[in-house]
Amino acid sequence: MQRVVQPEILDTLAATDPVAIANRRDLRLYNRLMGTYRWFEQKVGPSSNESNFLELGAGDGTLGLYLLRRGNLRTTTAYTGLDLISRPMNWPVSWSWLVEDLCHLSYEGIHNVLIANLILHQFSSDELSVLGEKLAASNLSTLLISEPVRKNLHIWQVYLSWLLRVHPVSLHDAKVSIQAGFRNLELAELLGLDEQEWDIHYTETFMGANRLVCRRRS
């Protein structure tokens, strides 16, 4: 399947729109079915005082708050969520929040661990190339990324999710996400990550997750 990036309906809705609220609920369901939260829990492990996290596309804060509840993070952990919507009301006071387009961020700050979940598939190859240049020039030492796998199997799985009363907009956006997803090491290649500079590992799951763990070589 050729990669095609198209707009998602959610991006046109206000955060308080009932359809957007339903879509975020369905995203949490999809993440549970894909085992995404557990995967990040395993990869983050117990955080240290040396870790300074930046989560791209943090949305309503579900992932960060999950890691907090599970004990991977603490309110004293340096953690920043970035999204185009405003700071969630239940976001810890001691954590930071940036309302900004991830393509416009410089990444030249103090963060050393990047987390990205179901967000990078929304960007074109050219945009990912520019983002990759910024990541390479940053202080980031670890990239933990989970994105959709671009396979017809997972589109059929999405069709079946209507049985779980998923909203029609969620069904539409999930299909669009899969069509814009990645195979194997494709995302790392689009980001231009140099294997001489990064130790890169990927996995693909039956439930449709393409996952990258990239650690900068010392």
Residue 129: per-residue pLDDT: 98
Average pLDDT over residues 187-213: 97
| DSSP collapsed to 3 states, the chain | CCCCCCCCHHHHCCCCCHHHHHHHHHHHHHHHHHCHHHHHHHHHCCCCCCCEEEEECCCCCHHHHHHHHCCCCCCCCEEEEEECCCCCCCCCCCCEEEECCCCCCCCCCCCCEEEEECCHHHCCHHHHHHHHHHHHCCCCCEEEEEEEECCHHHHHHHHHHHHHCCCHHHHHHHHHHHHCCECCCHHHHHCCCCCCCEEEEEEECCCCEEEEEEEECC
> Per-residue pLDDT for 152 more than 90?
yes
Mean pLDDT of 146-150: 98
What is the model's pTM? 0.95
- pLDDT beyond 90 at 5: yes
Q: Which domains does the chain have, with CATH numbers?
A: 9-216 (3.40.50.150)
Q: Which of 74-78, 106-110, 142-146, 189-193 has the lowest mean pLDDT?
A: 106-110
pLDDT value of position 78? 96
Model confidence pLDDT, tens digit, residues 27-84: 999 999 999 999 999 999 988 888 999 999 999 999 999 999 999 999 999 999 999 9
